[in-house]
Every structure is written in structure tokens, then in C-alpha cells.
Amino acid sequence: MALLRFRFERFVAIVLLVGAILFGLYTWTTLSWTYSTGERAGYVQKFSRRGWICKTWEGDLAMVTIPGTMPEKFLFSVRADPVAETITRTLGKRVALIYDQHKGVPTSCFGDTEYFVTGVRVIDETKAP
């Protein structure tokens, strides 16, 4: 009976270990593999560091195509603190956000969206009206 219990406990431990390794490999793959890259231009309306346990930088970019029309919002996440500092310094200015899209990231600890901003370029130095 003790031998059977030992084998069952070892089997459960192996299954849990293999599951954790597979989850780690999947997470690493989704974060290192880029589905698409691009730029979005507009005005950063909201930018904050938030989360209960995993703090991430999250923001909204208002993309105005024609003055006087409703802006389209682009929701994004930032993982690097230097990029977050640059965005904070450029709040209110027209910027282009350079991003990588990562599909299938399994948890929101890495960001609430699938769009991770990797760079910022100021387009217009004047503040938004």
C-alpha cells in the first residue's frame, strides 16, 4: 500500500512539473515571438502604472484622423521603465508609438493588452488643444 501511494505521489509531482515547464515554455514563446510590429500616431490621453500584484504600465492613445471627429483609442502596455518615462515626458504632445503585438500571452502580469510599446517618437512639440 505504501509503495502504491509513493508511486502516485511521484506521478502527480511529475505531471505538475511537466505542466509548469510547458506553461513556462508557452509564456516565453508568446513573449519572444512577435506577431506584428508597427506604429500608431496620436495623443496619449491616459497613462498609469496599475495592477494588484503585477504592476504594469497601461495607456490609451487617441488617434485623430480628421479634426473634429471622434478619436479612435489604441490601448497599449509598456514593459520597459525607460519607455514609460519617455511617454510620461511627452504627455499631451503628438507622438508615434512603436509597438510589437504578442498574441496569446497567458496572463495579465505582462500587460493588459497584446500591444507592447517599445519606443516613442515625438511628431509635434506643441501641446494638444
Q: pLDDT tens digits, the chain, 129 residues: what are they?
A: 676 777 888 888 899 999 999 998 888 888 888 899 999 999 999 999 988 888 899 999 998 777 777 878 999 999 899 999 999 999 989 999 999 999 988 877 888 899 999 999 999 766 655
- Residues with Cβ within 8 Å of residue 127, at least 6 apart in sequence: 92, 93
* CB neighbour class for 111 (10 Å; exposed up to 12, middle 13-18, buried from 19): buried
Task: Check residue 71 and report its DSSP letter.
Answer: P
Domain coverage including residue 86: 34-127
* Residues 5 and 44 both lie in one domain: no
Q: Are 25 and 39 part of one and the same domain?
A: no
Q: Do 116 and 62 fall within a single domain?
A: yes
Domain co-membership, 47 together with 21 = no
Instruction: Write the CATH number for 119.
Output: 2.40.50.140
Residues 29 and 51 both lie in one domain: no
Domain count for the chain: 2
